[in-house]
Structure 1
Amino acid sequence: MKNFILLLALFFTVNATEARPENKPNKELTEAQQIRKAEMEARLAEIKAMDFKSMSKSEIKEIKEEMKMMKEEARATGGGIYLSVGAIIIIILLLILLL
């Protein structure tokens, strides 16, 4: 049983380290992805140049939602496996209870 738990812990550790950017090889982007990346960078530059004090709350909310969508799109093209803090805590608790 302990060997199984150790293998399980090793598996999750390996997956968690693979998600780090420094361990991933540079992934070549297709031409369409490069164009989309340039568009997103231009849009982010526009957003940074905006004066949020003169905007209404609904406009600010729309911009935040747009930025969240761009962030999700960027993560989707990057790939990788990400573990949330809650998942890590559950894994640690299971290991403590079973060992």
Structure 2
Amino acid sequence: MKSKNILWALVLLFNLAAMPFAANASETPKEKKPLTEAQQARIDQMIRRVEEIKKMDRSKLSKEERKDIKKELKEMNAEAKAIRGQGVYLSLGAIIIIILLLILLL
């Protein structure tokens, strides 16, 4: 009975030790595509704007101004992700139009 418990403990130990390696094995590094000059200029402009916002004293701003800055930062983040090619963005309206076109054509 004792040897059976030791055997199960060893099997469990080896299986748990192998899990992180199996998880890392499936990840393939993606090649980053080079940015055009216009895209790099826009990213540099966004970085300068973010640094400018970081240097601001936000405690003196009104609630509306803070909301506007937060909205601007979110938009810049989404734009930067789109430039880097980290996703496909389709609005809900675009999806509905695509579905309607597919229904009408098929």
For the aligned pair, the TM-score class normalised by the smaller chain equals 0.5 to 0.7
Q: What count of residue pairs does the alignment treat as equivalent?
A: 64
Q: Which runs of 5+ in 1 are unaligned?
A: 1-16, 83-99
* Paired letter, 2:40: Q
Equivalent of 1:62, from 62, 68, 71?
A: 68
| Corresponding residue number in structure 2 for 1:49 | 55
User: Distance between the aligned counterparts of 2:69 and 2:42, measured in 1?
Assistant: 18
Residue 36 of structure 2 corresponds to residue 40 of structure 1: no
Letter in 2 for 1:35: A
From the CA coordinates, give the structure whose radius of gyration is larger.
2
Q: Which residue of 2 aligns with 1:10?
A: none
1:16-64 Cα distance to aligned partner (Å, 9 max, x none):
x56xxxx221220000001101100100000000001110000000000
**What SS class does the counterpart of residue 35 from structure 2 fall into?**
coil
Deviation of the 1:80 alpha carbon: 3.3
Q: CA RMSD in A?
A: 2.4
Q: Secondary structure at the match of 1:33?
A: helix
TM-score, structure 2 as length reference: 0.54
Give unpaired runs (5+ residues) of structure 2. Answer: 1-26, 89-106
- Which runs of 4 or more aligned residues in structure 1 lie more than 2 Å from their structure 2 counterparts after TM superposition? none
CA shift for structure 1 position 81: 4.7
TM-score, with length taken from structure 1: 0.57
Distance 1:59 1:24 in 2: 39
Supply the AA of the counterpart residue of 2:52.
Answer: E
What is the aligned partner in structure 2 of residue 72 from structure 1?
78
CA–CA separation in structure 1 for the residues paired with 2:43 and 2:75: 13
Query: CA–CA distance in 1 between the matches of 2:49 and 2:86?
Result: 25
SS of corresponding position for 2:82: helix
